[in-house]
C-alpha cells in the first residue's frame, strides 16, 4: 500500500499505522469495512462480552435493562437493516461489509449478538406493500422480531423433498397445517416465516413461503427442548392446526418459496462462517494469553512445542478460512451466478464450521481443567460451535452440494 493511502486510512478510521497494517492484511479491505469492524468490535468488547458469564449462569437471560441497552445500541447503529437499501430505511451495506460485522459478533458467546432482528435483501425485493409496511419496517425499527419455521421432524437437511406442512387456498385465505421443529427464537418473535407445500391446484406440492403472526389462532407450542448451549433464544416445536391467514401474507407467488429459502440459506451460511471466524479469533487470543501466563514444570507452557504446534495450526486454519470467506463475499457483491454462489456458500460454511470446532477443541486442551469450566470461554464455544456443523445444512450435505456443483459446472467455477 502506498503512503498516501495508509495516511488516509489511518487518520480517518484507525488511529495508528501499526493498527492499520494489522487490520488491512486482506487486500480487499475497504475504509468503510474497517470503520464497521472497529465499531462492532467496540460494541462486542465493551457491552456484550462482559455479560457472557452472567448469561451462562442464568439460562442465557440478561437483566431487562441490559437487554434493552444492547438492543437500543444495535438499532441506533442501524444493524437491523444492514443489508437493506438506504431508500427503504437500511444501511445499504454490501455482503462483504455485512460479514465483517458478523465476524466481530462471532467473538461473543451465549448468542448475545442476537440482540436485534435482521431484515435481509430478499425481503426488500419480494415483499408486497402490505408486508413492507407491517413486517419489514417493524424489523428495521426494532418493534417486531422474526423467526423461521422451516425444519420438520422428517425434513432436516432435505428441506425441498420432505416438507409435509401444507397450505390450502380457500377464498382469500390460506389454511396452514403442519408441525415445525427447531424454530429458533420463536419465544422472542412476533411472526413466523413458514414454508409449506401448496395442497391443491396447479401449484400442488410446490413450495411457498408465508408470514404468520405468532398470535394467530391455531398455533400450538408443543415443546421447548433443552440444548447444549445456554441461549435465551429457544428452538421450539410448534404445530399449526388449521391456521387461517390472509392471502396477502404469501411472499411472492405460489410455488417459488424455495427461491426465498435458498436466498436465506446463502445469507445464513455466510453468517455462520463469519461468526465461526470471529469465534476462532477469540479462542486463539484467549488461549495465547493463557499459554503465555501459565507455568508448568518450571516454564511457561507457551514455550512447549506441543502448545506452539496447536496454536500455529489454529492461526493457519483461521487465516485461510477468513480469506475464502472474504473472496466469496466479493463474488456475491459482483453478482456472480446464483447457482455458483450456492456452491461457494456451502464451501465456506463447511470449512469454517469444521475449522472453528477444531480450534475450540484445541483451546479446551490448552486451558486444561479450566477449559472444562462453564465460565471459561473455550468451554462455552466447545458446546456452542458444535451445532454450526448441523444447522443450515449438515457438513455432509454441504459436501454433496459442493460435489454436485463440481460435476455440473466444473472446478474453475468454484475456485475463481
Rounded-to-integer distance, Cα 314 and Cα 80, Å: 32
Q: Give pLDDT tens digits for 326-383.
A: 999 999 999 999 999 999 999 999 999 999 999 999 999 999 999 999 999 999 999 9
Three-state SS for 360? Answer: helix
Q: Which DSSP string corresponds to 58-87?
A: TTT---HHHHHHHHHHHHHTTGGGTTS-GG
Q: What is the pLDDT of residue 26?
A: 65
Rounded-to-integer distance, Cα 225 and Cα 36, Å: 36
In this structure, are residues 249 and 194 in contact, taking their beta carbons and an 8 Å threshold? Answer: no
Q: Give pLDDT tens digits for 251-305.
A: 999 998 888 889 999 999 999 999 999 999 999 999 999 999 999 999 999 999 9
Query: Is pLDDT above 70 for 18?
Result: no
End-to-end CA distance of the chain: 24
Rounded-to-integer distance, Cα 154 and Cα 159, Å: 9
C-beta atoms surrounding 190 within 10 Å: 17
Q: What is the pLDDT of residue 293?
A: 97
**Angle at Cα 272 formed by Cα 51 and Cα 194, nearest 5°?**
100
> What average pLDDT score do residues 9-15 get?
35
At which residue does the C-alpha cell 397445517 appear?
A: 177
Instruction: Report CA 379 to chain centroid distance, whole Å.
Output: 20
**Which of 286, 392, 396, 416 is flagged as catalytic?**
392
**Angle at Cα 392 formed by Cα 137 and Cα 386, nearest 5°?**
120
From residue 233, alpha-carbon distances to 60, 85, 227 in Å are: 8, 28, 11
- Provide the pLDDT confidence category of residue 410 given band limits of 50, 70 and 90: very high
Query: Is pLDDT above 50 for 10?
Result: no
Of the chain, the percentage scoring pLDDT greater than 70 comes to: 92
Catalytic residue list contains 295:
no
Rounded-to-integer distance, Cα 50 and Cα 377, Å: 12
Q: Give pLDDT tens digits for 21-45.
A: 444 556 678 999 999 999 999 999 9
Query: Is pLDDT above 90 for 19?
Result: no
- Provide the pLDDT confidence category of residue 8 given band limits of 50, 70 and 90: very low
Closest CA to 330 of 30, 31, 40, 78: 30
Q: What is the mean pLDDT of the chain?
A: 92
Q: Give pLDDT tens digits for 230-263.
A: 999 999 999 999 999 999 999 999 998 888 889 9
Q: Give pLDDT tens digits for 131-178.
A: 999 999 999 999 999 999 999 998 766 676 689 999 999 999 999 999
> What average pLDDT score do residues 375-402 get?
97
Q: What is the pLDDT of residue 4?
A: 42
Rounded-to-integer distance, Cα 391 and Cα 397, Å: 11
Q: What is the pLDDT of residue 156?
A: 66
Rounded-to-integer distance, Cα 181 and Cα 155, Å: 9
Rounded-to-integer distance, Cα 295 and Cα 305, Å: 14
From residue 47, alpha-carbon distances to 55, 63, 67, 285, 378 in Å are: 13, 13, 10, 19, 20
3-state secondary structure 202-236: CCCCCEEEEEEECCCCCEEEEECCCCCCCCCCCEE
C-beta atoms surrounding 203 within 10 Å: 17
Which parts of 131-172 are beta strand (E)?
Answer: 146-149, 166-170
175 pairs with which residues across the strands?
168, 244
Q: What is the pLDDT of residue 72?
A: 98
Three-state SS for 239? Answer: strand
Rounded-to-integer distance, Cα 319 and Cα 281, Å: 9
Crossing angle of helices 305-333/95-105, nearest 10°?
Answer: 150
| HSE toward the beta carbon, residue 299, CA cutoff 13 A | 6
> What average pLDDT score do residues 74-98 get?
97
Amino acid at each position: 500500500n502506498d503512503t498516501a493511502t495508509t495516511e488516509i486510512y489511518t487518520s480517518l478510521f484507525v488511529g495508528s499505522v501499526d493498527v492499520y497494517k494489522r487490520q488491512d492484511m486482506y487486500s480487499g479491505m475497504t475504509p468503510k469495512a474497517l470503520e464497521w469492524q472497529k465499531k462492532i468490535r467496540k460494541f462486542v468488547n465493551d457491552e456484550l462480552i462482559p455479560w457472557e458469564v452472567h448469561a451462562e449462569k442464568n439460562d442465557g437471560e440478561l437483566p431487562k435493562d441490559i437487554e434493552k441497552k444492547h438492543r437500543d445500541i444495535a438499532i441506533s447503529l442501524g444493524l437491523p437493516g444492514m443489508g437493506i437499501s438506504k431508500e427503504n430505511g437500511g444501511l445499504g451495506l454490501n455482503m462483504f461489509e455485512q460479514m465483517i460485522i458478523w465476524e466481530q459478533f462471532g467473538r461473543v458467546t451465549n448468542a448475545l449478538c442476537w440482540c436485534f432482528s435482521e431484515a435481509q435483501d430478499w425481503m426488500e425485493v419480494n415483499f408486497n406493500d402490505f408486508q413492507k409496511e407491517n413486517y419489514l419496517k417493524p424489523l428495521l425499527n426494532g418493534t417486531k422480531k422474526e423467526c423461521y419455521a422451516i425444519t420438520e421432524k422428517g425434513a432436516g437437511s432435505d428441506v425441498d423433498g420432505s416438507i409435509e406442512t401444507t397450505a390450502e387456498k380457500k377464498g382469500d385465505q390460506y389454511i396452514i397445517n403442519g408441525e415445525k421443529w427447531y424454530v429458533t427464537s420463536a419465544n422472542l418473535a412476533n411472526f413466523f416465516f413458514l414454508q409449506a407445500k401448496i395442497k391443491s391446484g396447479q401449484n400442488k406440492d410446490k413450495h411457498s413461503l408465508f408470514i404468520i403472526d405468532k398470535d394467530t389462532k391455531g398455533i400450538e407450542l408443543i415443546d421447548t427442548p433443552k440444548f447444549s448451549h445456554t441461549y435465551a433464544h429457544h428452538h421450539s416445536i410448534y404445530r399449526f392446526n388449521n391456521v387461517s391467514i390472509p392471502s396477502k401474507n404469501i411472499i411472492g407467488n405460489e410455488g417459488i418459496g424455495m427461491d426465498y429459502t435458498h436466498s436465506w440459506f446463502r445469507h445464513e451460511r455466510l453468517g455462520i462462517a463469519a461468526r465461526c471466524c470471529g469465534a476462532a479469533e477469540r479462542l486463539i487470543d484467549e488461549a495465547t494469553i493463557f499459554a503465555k501466563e501459565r507455568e508448568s514444570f518450571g516454564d511457561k507452557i507457551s514455550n512447549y512445542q506441543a502448545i506452539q504446534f496447536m496454536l500455529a495450526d489454529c492461526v493457519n486454519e483461521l487465516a485461510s478460512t477468513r480469506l475464502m470467506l472474504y473472496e466469496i463475499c466479493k463474488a456475491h457483491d459482483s453478482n456472480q451466478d446464483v447457482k455458483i454462489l450456492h456452491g461457494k456458500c456451502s464451501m465456506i460454511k463447511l470449512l469454517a464450521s469444521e475449522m472453528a470446532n477444531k480450534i475450540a477443541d484445541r483451546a479446551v486442551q490448552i486451558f486444561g481443567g479450566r477449559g472444562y469450566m462453564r465460565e471459561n470461554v473455550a468451554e462455552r464455544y466447545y458446546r456452542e460451535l458444535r451445532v454450526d456443523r448441523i444447522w443450515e445444512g449438515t457438513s455432509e450435505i454441504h459436501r454433496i452440494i459442493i460435489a454436485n456443483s463440481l460435476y455440473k459446472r466444473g472446478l474453475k467455477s468454484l475456485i475463481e
